[in-house]
Structure 1
Amino acid sequence: MTSTSDASDTMEQTLQIQLSQSVLQQGFNGKAVEELQNLLFAWGIYTGPIDGEFGYQTEQSVKNFQRRVFLKEDGIVAERTWRALYTGAPVDMPQLSKGCNGELVKKVQRILKTTCDYIGRVDGDFGDLTESALTSFQRRCELSITGVVEENTWCALSKVLQY
Structure 2
Amino acid sequence: MALTSCSDINKPELREGSRGESVRELQELLRKNGQEISVDGIFGAGTKYVVGVFQCIMFLPRNGEVDNNTWCALFRKAPADMEVLRKGDKSELVRKVQQRLYDDDRYRSTIDGDFGPVTETAVKGLQKDKGLVVDGIIGEKTWNELSNLQYPSCL
Q: Same fold (TM over 0.5)?
A: yes
Partner of residue 4, structure 1: none
TM-score, normalised by the number of residues in structure 1: 0.86
2:7 counterpart of 1:43: no
Residue 10 of structure 2 aligns with an amino acid whose one-letter code is S
2:119 counterpart of 1:130: yes
Residue 113 of structure 1 aligns with an amino acid whose one-letter code is Y
How far, CA to CA, are the matches of 1:126 and 1:13 in structure 2? 28
2:16 counterpart of 1:26: yes
TM-score, normalised by the number of residues in structure 2: 0.91
Percent identity reads 38
Runs of 4+ in 1 over 6 A off after TM superposition: none
Shift in alpha-carbon separation, 1:73–1:10, aligned structure 2, 3 A: closer
Residue 40 of structure 1 aligns with an amino acid whose one-letter code is L
Q: Are the equivalent residues in 2 in contact too, given 1:26–1:56 (CA < 8 A)? A: yes
| Partner secondary structure for residue 122 of structure 1 | coil
Give the deviation of 1:47 after TM superposition. Answer: 2.6
How far, CA to CA, are the matches of 2:5 and 2:120 in structure 1? 38
Q: Are the equivalent residues in 1 in contact too, given 2:27–2:47 (CA < 8 A)? A: yes
Gaps of 5+ in 1: 1-8
| Cα shift readout 1:13-49 (whole Å, capped 9, x = no counterpart) | 9974xx221111111111000000000011111332x
2:73 counterpart of 1:84: yes
How far, CA to CA, are the matches of 2:90 and 2:41 in structure 1? 41
Q: What is the correspondence of 1:60-139 to structure 2 with a 5 Å cutoff?
A: 60-139=49-128
Q: Are the equivalent residues in 1 in contact too, given 2:37–2:47 (CA < 8 A)? A: no
How far, CA to CA, are the matches of 2:100 and 2:112 in structure 1? 13
Count residues in correspondence.
Answer: 152
Gaps of 5+ in 2: none
| Cα shift readout 1:108-162 (whole Å, capped 9, x = no counterpart) | 1111112222121112111111111110111111111110011111111011122
